Amino acid sequence: MDQLLKLWQSMGIANMDLGQVLMMAVGCGLIYLAIAKKFEPLLLVPIGFGALLSNIPVAGIGGPDGMIGMIYTVGVETGIFPLLIFMGVGALTDFGALIARPSTLLLGAAAQFGIFATLIGAVLLNFIPGFEFTLQDASAIAIIGGADGPTAIFLASRLAPDLLGAIAVAAYSYMALVPIIQPPIMRALTTREERRVVMQQLRPVSQLERILFPFVVLLLCALLLPSAAPLIGMLTFGNLLRECGVVERLSRAAQNEIINIVTIMLGLAIGSKLSADNFLALETLGILVLGALAFCIGTACGVLMGKVMHRATGGKVNPLIGAAGVSAVPMAARVVNRVGLEEDHHNFLLMHAMGPNVAGVIGSAVAAGVLLALTGT
């Protein structure tokens, strides 16, 4: 009888509580969104499966000595995984649109306003009973407004590791929901005539310009904001591998094998923080709400800056491209292109939107550097 009792006590069903069931349901929901709705499948599948693994009773897979718990310690706590992701993003991204039209930096900068609006919102939440966010917590939450998952993870791992799971899920969830969240805001803030504006073709960008650009960006970062150097440095290094033309093997590795392996490990590591005891809290709900508001504010500010540039250039800039100023590369640019095509089937805005989209990646990294410099220890 004692042996049967011992066997029963070792079973998962005997140790499972309601919180673990709920978090398993959340994990299944993320996998469903990835497979059925194609929402950021490369990340939501491993994150969702990591949530399932970390909530299996007794197994301890997500704990400090568990497999994905150790992956988290090695890759996320040290900040290595987000930096390797940035290297891959740099290798995958064509900066030509930004080089050809530097003024789109303003659109990327405007879209980062959501970050600082969220910072204020997180501080104000402390007036509601049940919320106790320090300035470091608020800074880590704020970066969700940039819709940049790696940057959010990098900053949260340094400023608010206890909130990393909620921040990472919020950041990647809103990145995945770009096609749903952005179009209504874009249509609400622009007229049909503005959405139909056809922009002039971008000028050709020489290889010399493409090679020099990473050095210029890194130099400015080193001189003005060294705290952002890890993110900016890996982004520009990855882009240099792409553009220099003499290390094709390294460029292909950064674009494929390295970023794919790191994406799997990063997703599982984030999933390890979706355990019931870490995630089911009032603070998590506040983070999710703030993240949604931040993303909406960032999109709106980008579009409004686009309208300003539309007026300033005499109608040569389509305001829709301002929505691409958030850092969700290249999803936001594709959404802009799709909304533009809905108004005019011959109006292709993808390459024009890539300028502010790339600027948004740089902008969110700079914003993270500012927050790290101001609130980091």
CA atoms within 13 A on the CB side of 371: 32
Q: Is residue 5 part of a domain?
A: no
CA-based nearest residue to 367, from 141, 109, 88: 109
Q: Which two tokens stand for residue 326?
A: 């958030």
Q: Is residue 139 part of a domain?
A: yes
**Which domain range does residue 163 map to?**
13-375
What is the C-alpha separation between 377 and 115, in angstroms, rounded?
20
Q: Is residue 4 part of a domain?
A: no
Would you write out the chain's pLDDT as a tens digit for each of its 377 residues?
677 777 666 676 767 788 888 889 989 998 998 899 887 788 889 989 999 998 888 778 888 888 898 998 888 888 899 999 999 999 999 999 899 999 989 998 888 888 888 888 888 888 888 788 888 988 888 888 777 888 988 898 888 888 887 887 788 777 777 888 899 999 999 999 999 999 988 899 999 999 999 999 999 988 988 988 999 999 999 999 999 999 999 999 999 999 999 999 998 988 887 877 777 778 888 888 888 888 889 899 999 999 999 999 988 999 999 999 888 888 889 899 999 999 888 889 988 999 999 999 998 899 899 998 888 76
Q: Report the Cα–Cα distance between both ends of the chain, in Å, rounded.
A: 56
Angle of helix 41-54 relative to helix 259-271, nearest 10 degrees? 40
Cβ-count burial 50-80 (b if 16+ within 10 Å, e if not): bbbbbbbeeeebbeeebebbbbbeebbeebb
Q: Is residue 220 part of a domain?
A: yes
Q: Is residue 266 part of a domain?
A: yes
CA-based nearest residue to 102, from 361, 362, 355: 355
Question: Rounded to two decimals, what is the model's pTM?
Answer: 0.88
Q: Is residue 282 part of a domain?
A: yes
Q: Is residue 347 part of a domain?
A: yes
CA-based nearest residue to 165, from 140, 190, 185: 140
Q: Is residue 246 part of a domain?
A: yes
Structural domain tally of the chain? Answer: 1
